[in-house]
């Protein structure tokens, strides 16, 4: 297993983490957000955190779900003047792209900065392929960081997510980044893959970022443990045999990187995969683990 050193990211910095929270800067604005893996004590004082932060998101008392509201009932509390949305620059091995960030009612803001390592991997994988036009499929694509990494490298990208407002957010990011010619799909991932298999469609790269739980656009139920094998089986049928890559990200706390590797090798037995854990290095010195992965690249 590998720990992947965070990519240099001028518009992002993890300042400190602990007590199930993280203090992080996105561009000009610093936020306090929940972090279930930060079970240790923070290095910096609470006074230092609150002095630095522009906004804080808290879980609603007595409930495990998130919702917008006040500091008493959960949601965002604005501590200093800041906009409802702003733009940050995201790094690639050459150039980069832009993403709009917003404070959502779930505590997310539209970007997972630890994925910068994957963005570089995607960019370099596309650039290394000896094909005229690389076809990439990004499933559970959220606001599109992996999509823009592939598109910036010259690939034809199909971007799929089950939530239409999130796909619309991705379109905004494309326009901000000056990119174009991305195929946008609002659909259930498994249903889409079944259709692609029937059509005989293939891709040189597949990016998978499945949630632990989710719903499709017409109410389809997704549970990671129940659907992951079918997902990978279908992907194995549409991934090109040569000039290929596949990335599997897992954010479920019960899924280790060894599980991710075993899953890939079940459906791609001839590949040599790398697997490990992403983390972010806090300015305070703490390393915050943020998900596991397995991936491979073939020529």
pLDDT on residue 150: 98
Cβ-contact 261, 232 below 8 angstroms: no
Q: Give alpha helix (H) positions in the chain.
A: 46-52, 116-128, 145-152, 164-177, 189-199, 224-238, 257-267
CA neighbor of 111 nearest in space, from 170, 28, 190: 170
Cβ-contact 244, 297 below 8 angstroms: yes
Residues of the chain with pLDDT under 50: 62, 64-72
Residue with tokens 């630095």: 52
Cβ-contact 189, 140 below 8 angstroms: yes
pLDDT on residue 1: 60
From the DSSP assignment, how many helices (H) and strands (E) are in the chain?
Answer: 7, 17
**245 Cβ partners below 8 Å, 6+ apart?**
121, 122, 125, 204, 205, 206, 295, 296, 297, 298
- State the pTM of this model: 0.92
**9 Cβ partners below 8 Å, 6+ apart?**
90, 91, 113, 116
Cβ-contact 35, 17 below 8 angstroms: yes
Is residue 198 classed as helix, strand or coil in its secondary structure? helix
Cβ-contact 134, 204 below 8 angstroms: yes
pLDDT on residue 59: 75
C-alpha to C-alpha distance for 116 and 92, rounded to whole angstroms: 8
| Structural domains of the chain ordered from first start | 2-86 (2.60.40.1180), 111-298 (3.40.50.150)
Q: 274, exposed or middle or buried, with CB in 10 Å at 0-12, 13-18, 19+?
A: middle
C-alpha to C-alpha distance for 26 and 242, rounded to whole angstroms: 38
- pLDDT tens sequence across 115-130: 999 999 999 999 999 8
C-alpha to C-alpha distance for 131 and 199, rounded to whole angstroms: 21
CA neighbor of 179 nearest in space, from 138, 147, 134: 147
Instruction: Report the b/e string of 56-71 with b at 16+ CB within 10 A.
Output: bbbbeeeeeebeeeee
Q: For the packed helices 257-267 and 224-238, what is the interaxial angle rounded to 10 degrees?
A: 40
């Amino acid at each position: 297993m590998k720990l992947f050193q965070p990519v240099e990211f001028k518009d992002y910095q993890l300042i400190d983490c602990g007590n199930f929270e993280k203090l992080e800067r996105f561009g000009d604005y610093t936020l306090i957000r929940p972090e279930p893996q930060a079970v240790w004590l923070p290095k910096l004082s609470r006074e230092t955190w609150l002095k630095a932060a522009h906004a804080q998101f808290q879980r609603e008392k007595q409930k495990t779900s998130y919702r917008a509201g006040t500091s008493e009932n959960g949601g965002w509390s604005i501590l200093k003047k800041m906009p409802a949305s702003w733009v940050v620059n995201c790094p690639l091995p050459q150039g980069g792209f832009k993403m709009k960030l917003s404070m959502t009612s779930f505590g997310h803001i539209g970007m997972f900065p630890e994925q910068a390592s994957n963005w570089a991997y995607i960019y370099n994988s596309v650039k290394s392929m000896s094909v005229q036009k690389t076809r990439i499929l990004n499933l559970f694509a959220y606001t599109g960081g992996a999509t823009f990494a592939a598109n910036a490298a010259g690939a034809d990208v199909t971007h799929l997510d089950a939530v239409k407002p999130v796909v619309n957010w991705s379109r905004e990011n494309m326009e901000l980044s000056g990119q174009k010619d991305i195929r946008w799909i609002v659909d259930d991932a498994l249903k889409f893959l079944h259709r692609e298999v029937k059509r005989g469609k293939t891709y040189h790269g597949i990016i998978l970022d499945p949630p632990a739980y989710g719903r499709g656009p017409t109410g389809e139920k997704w549970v990671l443990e129940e659907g992951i094998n079918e997902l990978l089986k279908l992907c194995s049928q549409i991934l090109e045999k040569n000039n290929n890559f596949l990335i599997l990200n897992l954010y479920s706390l019960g899924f280790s990187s060894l599980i991710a590797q075993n899953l890939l090798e079940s459906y791609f037995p001839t590949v040599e995969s790398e697997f490990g854990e992403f983390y972010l290095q806090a300015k305070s010195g703490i390393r915050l683990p943020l998900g596991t992965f397995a991936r491979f690249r073939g020529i």
